[in-house]
Chain A
């Protein structure tokens, strides 16, 4: 029996190991290639570790992506903060202060989470050109806040639904209304949800490409995803620079994942509609 069990375990771990290789392979490629000099990005040693650590690719990619990185930071941080706050208030009202039609309202808002953005893109670009939001970081941030309303509202609503209604009742006995109860009771216990939503929004806005490429057209406003795509397009077969660029562009979200991974998973699960 023990022998069978341990054989089974060996098989299990071997399988997991094979899958791990599949999942690690692209990361191995990305890092090893990024530390090679252009001379070393030769045919036969493609998969080998770099003979000599070279940072030339990082210097080149870094200078090409610097603008994009700054733009992405200036876009992502405010948009994430505002979007979390909006989601929290919406979620609170929709779960604890329901009114006639509020459930229907929520379903209508939720639909916005799934639409292909291609179906709103042309009017959006036109509208932004007219109001002067086209090709601006603030405009792009506004887009992410608005289209982030469904998911942030959903996550907060599902979280507040688990908070007992008695807290509202208790607040009312003390004479606190909707706003006071939110401020003194709900906001202080919302930290876990804020972390989940903030990570979710940060990752999505940082990584987003379609809005970014459609609503900006100059290096001074383009986020890092667009800058990386331009870099790869202009440096074909300079693999070391492309990979260094991929590392630089992915670092912020990867760091967030490594440091706060378990909240990332909760966001992922909260994102499923039932909650």
Chain B
């Protein structure tokens, strides 16, 4: 379609403010963060003395940051695996045209409408050794004296994981459910006539068709878990003994509590790189498909 020149100019002009804002607030600030991360700025008064990649080399030798990277990796792995598994399972069950489907769907999804700050408060209660779960297990006759849950460095990360999975499983379910609804019944019927059983239909027909949804969900969930902050901040502040510490928490404390801005910026940029490795190929791929 050919537009008049005037309309083309109008279109550009209307987009310009948004584009300039994104250019400044996203790309400009990322650039500036990168610059700060190469200075020695520590303390309230900005210092822009260039020190190259010093902050990064210090960061990657810092025991706390090593722990953080490990925690993020483990958290992301569990979070992704559990969400995909649970989301797909719930979607497959709800795809069976059962009564009350809308009720269940809404129930599994509503956690997404509540903030991590509010749900974090609840999960702290549940996983607190003197309230919550231990009371139930004691009543059932278990000796819960040593069950520390969120106060136990070996268990705390899993407790945070459960909170995060509870919040996001419905999202994955909704994605898969939409995917399943998009697969026509004819294909399944045809497979059934050819003698395929339900497991074969699922494994050979549905699962491959759902592949793009799985990729999309991995990207969205992955970037959420790599930059997770609120839930951990509310539930554990990274403790006990750094067992739930994440780069997001480290960045926040370094920057706003210790005024070590150069290191804070470096952590922010490392987080950006981790997310970009996940997002950029996906963005390029999905834009190309358009």
Contact = CB atoms under 8 A, between A and B. Distances in A.
A43 B135 contact: yes
Contacts of B108: 19, 23
Interface in A123-171: 123-124, 126-127, 143, 146-147, 149-150, 153, 165, 168-169
The majority secondary structure among interface residues of chain B is helix
B11 A178 contact: yes
Interface of A: 9, 12-13, 15-16, 19-20, 22-26, 29-30, 33, 43-44, 46-47, 86, 89-90, 93-94, 97-99, 102-103, 105-112, 114-124, 126-127, 143, 146-147, 149-150, 153, 165, 168-169, 177-179, 203, 206-210, 214, 225, 228-229, 232, 237, 239, 242-243, 245-246, 249-250, 253-254, 256-258, 261, 264-265, 268-269, 271-274
A67 to B, nearest CB: 16
B8 A149 contact: no
A43 B226 CA distance: 37
A26 B175 contact: no
A19 B271 contact: no
Contacts of B36: 122-123
A29 B264 contact: no
B15 A90 contact: yes
A207 B114 contact: yes
A232 B125 CA distance: 11
Contacts of B124: 232
17 contacts: A9-B98, A29-B126, A90-B15, A108-B27, A115-B275, A116-B226, A118-B268, A119-B33, A123-B28, A123-B32, A146-B21, A177-B4, A177-B7, A178-B10, A208-B115, A268-B174, A268-B175
B230 A210 contact: yes
A274 B119 contact: no
Interface in B2-19: 3-4, 6-8, 10-12, 14-15, 18-19
A123 B286 contact: no
A95 to B, nearest CB: 11
B289 interface: yes
Contacts of A26: 111, 119, 122-123, 126, 166
Contacts of A271: 220
Interface residues of B, number: 97
Given A43-B135, A149-B21, A206 B227 contact: no
Given A119-B29, A209-B116, 7 more contacts: A23-B110, A46-B132, A127-B29, A207-B116, A207-B117, A225-B115, A225-B118
Nearest to B234: A229
B141 to A, nearest CB: 15
The majority secondary structure among interface residues of chain A is helix
Among A25, A261, A274, max chain B CB count under 10 A is at A274
Contact of A89 (B14, B30, B135): B14
Given A93-B11, A107-B283, A147 B226 contact: no
A265 B21 CA distance: 29
A15 B267 CA distance: 43
Contacts of B229: 118, 209-210
A253 B114 contact: yes
Nearest to B284: A107
Given A146-B21, A203-B113, A269 B175 contact: yes
A237 B125 CA distance: 9
B107 interface: yes
Nearest to A17: B104
B286 A119 contact: no
Contact of A22 (B125, B166, B267): B166
Interface string B124-151: 1110001110011000000000000000
B98 A23 contact: no
Interface stretch (B61-69, B183-191, B248-256): B248-256
A169 B233 contact: no
B136 A47 contact: yes
A120 B110 contact: no
A208 to B, nearest CB: 8
